[in-house]
Amino acid sequence: MNPLANSAATRDIAYHVHGYTNLKVHQENGPMILESGSGIRVVDDGGKSYIEGMSGLWCSSLGFSEERLVEAAITEMRRLPYYHGFGGKTPSVTIDLSEKLINMAPAAMSKVLYANSGSEATDLAVKLIWYYHNAIGKPEKKKIISRIKGYHGVTVCSASLTGLPHLHNDFDLPIDRIMHTSCPHYYRFGHNDETEEEFASRCADELEQMINDEGPDTIAAFFAEPVMGAGGVIVPPKTYFEKIQPILKKHDILFVADEVICGFGRTGKMWGCQTYDLDPDMISTAKALSASYLPISALMINDKVYQALVSQSEKLGLFGHGGTYAGHPVSAAVALETLNIYEERNIVGHVQSISEGFLSSLADFSDHPLVGEVRGVGLVAGVELVKNKDDKTPYAAKFMVGGYCAARAQEHGLIVRAMGDSIGFCPPLIISPEEINEMAAIFGKALDETLSWVKETNPE
């Protein structure tokens, strides 16, 4: 009998469909199976250890062995393993979490609603935006603008807001009433004769043009990540949000800050909104909210939005939204403990103290023949690989040069993520300076091997 016939890999191929995976290739190559984690590292089923340079999916902020989170989950699971929020009921720990979030919010927020993922928080925001505009007697004001390369999730509406073609193709998305404005990536989309500030002005002008073309009375909201993550780690150009926000205010357009990646220290302040001086009407969070030990997402809304929900639910008899697991006590307990740890250990201070070393360890690769741009803030960065540094010509997507580089890094014990030919870095916030150096050394090796490979294979 074939000893692999019943292996975990064979069973995975037999039974499991993976997201963000070429399913045909997966049938041949099988999975990478992870068995355990400790600190910033995870270990595969062959015992090989990797630095998790992406915190999983930008989320394992406290690494993979935080006992306090395990204890928080066990304690709550013994106390009240489940309860819901329908009909005014609630687990007590969910009240504690809501109070904590509202008190730490970067802008004047009034209430929290819960869901289980970032995608659901985005969908919920859209529902509330539509409900709000009906409540205030503006039923025509329903269109929503997000940005090309923005990432807001994978459910029908959140994938529609996500500005990446592979989330739309053949899923019959985006749905109507969703539009995408310019991507604020200066290196890729700035004109040769344009300064960063001029590029930001052009992005703002293009947004306002879209609003005017559609009719301001039809535009309900604008969604933005403070730093765009899955679009390739795109840091906003200087003065971008300074120019965008007055346009939204002028046309009475709600601003939703998607803090799903940026929230809780990632950009060097507690919130991306603080790093970029944003004043949103709603804030969505997930991922580092619970250090991703359990699924939970939270959408914070300001009082203007909340008051409309109150009046509309009074009129309709109830607020017709809710979920079985929204505000789940065990997830809420883990999230609350996570937020306590951030405060007690001054995680934001730690990020500030190591950010420069992290960013400069990657900036040191700027002279590498393959590296077009190194960009980042706090503890999130992207390194964009190009064919020609002078005119920024990329490699054709089919060669997957970024994918090759990420695979080499993985071979050497570092997990990073290729988004096209941009390599993303988003290590756990607890990473040490020594671990940053180790990560950079492995990445350097992977880059050199990628260079040898492109020289050999000469992709066009």
| Rounded distance between C-alpha atoms, residue 456 and residue 320, angstroms | 60
Q: x/- contact string, 270-289, with ligand PLP (CB under 6 A)? A: ----------------x---
CB of 300 to ligand PLP, least distance (A): 14
Q: How many CA atoms lie less than 13 Å away from 432 in the CB half-sphere?
A: 5
57 vs 107 by CB, closer to ligand PLP: 57
58 vs 395 by CB, closer to ligand PLP: 58
CB of 426 to ligand PLP, least distance (A): 10
58 vs 276 by CB, closer to ligand PLP: 58
**CA distances from residue 68 to 272, 320, 436 in whole angstroms, order as listed:** 26, 36, 24
208 vs 258 by CB, closer to ligand PLP: 258
Binding segment (CB under 6 A) for ligand PLP, from list 100-108, 149-157, 310-318, 360-368? 149-157
282 vs 371 by CB, closer to ligand PLP: 282
| Rounded distance between C-alpha atoms, residue 15 and residue 10, angstroms | 9
Amino acid at 14: A
User: Out of 149, 152, 387, 417, which residue is the one contacting ligand PLP (CB under 6 A)?
Assistant: 152
| Rounded distance between C-alpha atoms, residue 427 and residue 429, angstroms | 6
8 A C-beta contact, residue 142 and residue 177: yes
CB of 18 to ligand PLP, least distance (A): 14
| Rounded distance between C-alpha atoms, residue 55 and residue 425, angstroms | 9
User: Out of 225, 373, 384, 435, which residue is the one contacting ligand PLP (CB under 6 A)?
Assistant: 225
CB of 122 to ligand PLP, least distance (A): 6
Burial (CB count <10 Å: 0-12, 13-18, 19+), residue 9: middle
CB of 292 to ligand PLP, least distance (A): 9
Size of the site for ligand PLP (CB under 6 A): 16
Alpha helices in 146-291 (DSSP H): 156-161, 186-189, 196-214, 240-250, 272-275
Q: x/- contact string, 244-263, with ligand PLP (CB under 6 A)? A: --------------x-xx--
Binding segment (CB under 6 A) for ligand PLP, from list 126-134, 147-155, 344-352, 430-438? 147-155
Q: x/- contact string, 391-430, with ligand PLP (CB under 6 A)? A: ----------------------------------------
The token pair at 448 is 């050199």
135 vs 289 by CB, closer to ligand PLP: 289
8 A C-beta contact, residue 316 and residue 324: no
37 vs 56 by CB, closer to ligand PLP: 56
- CA-atom Rg of the chain in angstroms: 22
User: Out of 224, 230, 347, 430, which residue is the one contacting ligand PLP (CB under 6 A)?
Assistant: 230
CB of 124 to ligand PLP, least distance (A): 12
Sheet holding 111-115, edge to edge: 111-115, 297-301, 282-285, 254-258, 219-224, 143-147, 178-181
153 counts as binding ligand PLP under rule CB under 6 A? yes
263 vs 399 by CB, closer to ligand PLP: 263
Residue 13 gets the label, from left (phi > 0), alpha (psi -120 to 50) or beta, of alpha
CB of 74 to ligand PLP, least distance (A): 24
60 counts as binding ligand PLP under rule CB under 6 A? no
CB of 157 to ligand PLP, least distance (A): 12
Residue 396 gets the label, from left (phi > 0), alpha (psi -120 to 50) or beta, of beta
73 vs 230 by CB, closer to ligand PLP: 230
24 vs 166 by CB, closer to ligand PLP: 166
User: Out of 53, 174, 229, 268, which residue is the one contacting ligand PLP (CB under 6 A)?
Assistant: 229
Alpha helices in 196-298 (DSSP H): 196-214, 240-250, 272-275
Residue sitting closest to ligand PLP (CB): 118
Give kind and range of the element (H or E) at residue 301: strand 297-301
User: Out of 34, 57, 102, 156, which residue is the one contacting ligand PLP (CB under 6 A)?
Assistant: 57
**CA distances from residue 341 to 67, 73, 345, 347 in whole angstroms, order as listed:** 11, 14, 6, 8
Please, which residues have CB within 8 angstroms of residue 128's CB and are 6 or more apart in sequence? Answer: 113, 282, 299, 301, 305, 309
Of residues 108-127, those binding ligand PLP (CB under 6 A): 117-119, 122
| Rounded distance between C-alpha atoms, residue 83 and residue 95, angstroms | 12
Nearest CA to 295 out of 256, 326, 262 is that of: 326
* Site residues (vs ligand PLP, CB under 6 A): 57-58, 117-119, 122, 151-153, 225, 229-230, 258, 260-261, 286
